[in-house]
Amino acid sequence: MRARSNSLHIFEVLATQHQSMLLAYLVSLVGDYALAEDVAQQALVIAYRKIETLNDPAMFPSWLRGIARLEGLAALRKRRREIAVPPGAIDELEEAYRRFEQEYSTHTWEERFHLVEECFEQLPDTLRTVCRLHYFENHKAWQIAESMTLNLNTVLKRLQRARIAVRDCVEMRMARETRVS
């Protein structure tokens, strides 16, 4: 019983270390923070039950994402939501996370996420504002369009441009990091 409690404690530490990554991954996948939280909870419970199948502890983040991916897709199917992300893109997402881990090797996900934040802060005001409203305050694109008296297409375009700009910045910073190391 004591051994089980110890393993539970170790798992809690691991889960806490990777919580932000898990949630960000699931938000990318299911596109809804509340649902991502529910799925993350379920994925962690399953991960603990299956922890003995994990051979290499270093693989924990990608192994956890694998479980989260299955649970996330199952939750979307259950909600009868169209799975907006094609399988190829899900593989690319996993590949992006692997690169992020390898090429920007810090101790915590929060530090890696700080890199994304720095890139976000470099965006022009117009793009930053729509991103804040959409990603931080959960406003839908049409709501942003209404409140800012913009065309819906314009809002979608700005969101897309913001994501691309952040992506390019992150890619450049990761490449620089790789060269330095």
Partner 1 sequence: MNEEKPDSSEIPRQPEGLEMMCAGILGTQFGRRKSSAVAKAMIRLRAEEAAAPQPAGNGPASWRERIVEWSRRLQPGARFALATALIAITGLAARVLWSEGWINLGRPQNSGWIYKVSDSLQARWAGKSAKAGDTPGTGWLRLESGVVEITYASGATVAIEGPARFRAPNFNVLELTSGKISADVPKRARGFSVKSPTATVVDLGTRFGEIVNSASEVDVFQGAVELSAASRSTGGPWRLSQSKGLIVDPLSAVPAAALPESAFPQPNLTVLARPQNCGFDVSARAVLGGVPSDFGYWSGPAFALVAPVQNIRPFEGAGMLRFLTPAGNPAADSEVWQLIDLRSFKKFLAHGGVEARLDSMFNRIPADERFGQKFGLALAAFRGPPIDSKFLWAERATTALVTAAKELTADNDPATWEKIEISVKLPPETDFVIVEICAVAPKTSKPVAEPFPGNFADRVDLKLCAPLRASAISTSR
Q: Is 96 in the site for partner 1 (CB under 8 A)?
A: yes
Distance CA 12, CA 170 (A): 30
Which of 19, 105, 122, 147 touches partner 1 (CB under 8 A)?
A: 19
For residue 142, count other CB atoms closer than 10 A to its CB. 11
Q: How many residues bind partner 1 (CB under 8 A)?
A: 72
| Residue keyed to tokens 């470099």 | 122
Q: Which is nearer to partner 1, 131 or 144 (CB)?
A: 131
Interaction of residue 50 with partner 1, rule CB under 8 A: no
Residue 39: burial class (beta carbons within 10 Å; 0-12, 13-18, 19+): buried
> What residues numbered 114-143 form the site for partner 1, per CB under 8 A?
114, 116-117, 119-120, 126, 131, 135-136
What is the Cα–Cα distance from 123 to 129, expressed in whole angstroms?
A: 10
DSSP 107: S
Q: What residues from 53 to 72 belong to the interface with partner 1 (CB under 8 A)? A: none
Interface residue with partner 1 among 52, 53, 56, 78 (CB under 8 A) is 78
Q: Is 28 in the site for partner 1 (CB under 8 A)?
A: yes
